[in-house]
Amino acid sequence: MSLLFPPVAQLYTEQARRDRARLAADPHRPAYHFTAPANWLNDPNGLIQYGGLYHLFYQHNPHATVSATKHWGHAVSRDLVHWEDWPIALAPAPGTADQDGCFSGCIVVHNGVPTMIYTGVRVDETGRKRQRPCVAVSYDGMVTWERHAGNPVIPAPPTDVDIFAFRDHAVWREADGWYHLVGSGIRQVGGAALLYRSDDLVTWDYLHPLYVGDMHQLDPLFTGIMWECPDFFALGDRHVLVVSVFDHLRGDTGAAFPMIHHSVYFSGEYADHRLTPTYAGLMDYGRSWYAPQSFTDDQGRRIMFGWLREERAFEVQKAAGWSGAMSLPRVLTMRPNGRLGQAPAPEVECLRGAVHSWEGLTLSSGKPWVLDGAAGDTLELVAEVRPGEAERVGLLVRAAPDGSEQTRIVYDQALGQLTLDTSEASLDPATRRAARHAPLRLPQGEPLRLRVFVDRSIVEVFANDDVCITSRVYPTHPDSLVVALFAEGGLARLDSLTRWEMRGIWG
Ligand code: DQQ
**Of residues 195 and 246, more confidently modeled:** 195
Per DSSP (E only), the strands in 84-225 are 84-90, 102-110, 113-123, 129-137, 146-147, 163-174, 177-186, 190-198, 205-212
Tell me which of 228, 245, 260 to substitute to probe ligand 1's pocket, judged by most ligand atoms within 8 Å of the beta carbon.
Answer: 228
Q: What is the mean pLDDT of the chain?
A: 94
* Residue 229 near ligand 1, beta carbon < 6 Å: yes
A 10 A CB-CB count for 200 gives: 13
Q: Mean pLDDT over residues 29-36, rounded? A: 98
Closest CA to 496 of 358, 362, 379: 358
The CB of 294 under 6 Å from ligand 1? The reply is no
Query: 160-201 pLDDT, tens per residue?
Result: 999 989 999 999 999 999 999 999 999 999 999 999 999 999
H-helix or E-strand containing 11?
helix 7-23
Atom of ligand 1 nearest to the CA of 59: 10
pLDDT at 221: 87
For 392-410, write each residue's pLDDT tens digit. Answer: 999 999 999 999 999 999 9
Single-letter amino acid, residue 80: L
For residue 187, count other CB atoms closer than 10 A to its CB: 12
On the question of pLDDT at 257 being above 80, the answer is: no
**33 within 8 A of 75, measured Cβ to Cβ:** no
Taking the centre of ligand 1 as the mean of its atom positions, its distance from the CA of residue 459, in whole angstroms, is 23
Please provide the size of the chain in residues. Answer: 507
Residue to substitute in 39, 42, 309 for testing ligand 1 pocket (most ligand atoms within 8 angstroms of CB): 42
Residue 43 is a catalytic residue: yes
Q: What atom in ligand 1 is closest to the CA of residue 244?
A: 7
Distance between CA 262 and CA 265 in Å, rounded?
10
pLDDT at 331: 98
Task: Please name the residues in contact with 437: beta carbons below 8 A apart, sequence gap of 6 or more.
Answer: 285, 417, 418, 419
* Distances in whole angstroms, Cα of residue 273 to Cα of each of 183, 192, 211, 280: 16, 14, 9, 19
* Diameter over CA atoms, the chain: 69
Nearest C-alpha neighbor of 195 from the set 204, 186, 187, 7:
204
Range of lowest pLDDT (185-194, 215-224, 306-315, 426-435): 215-224
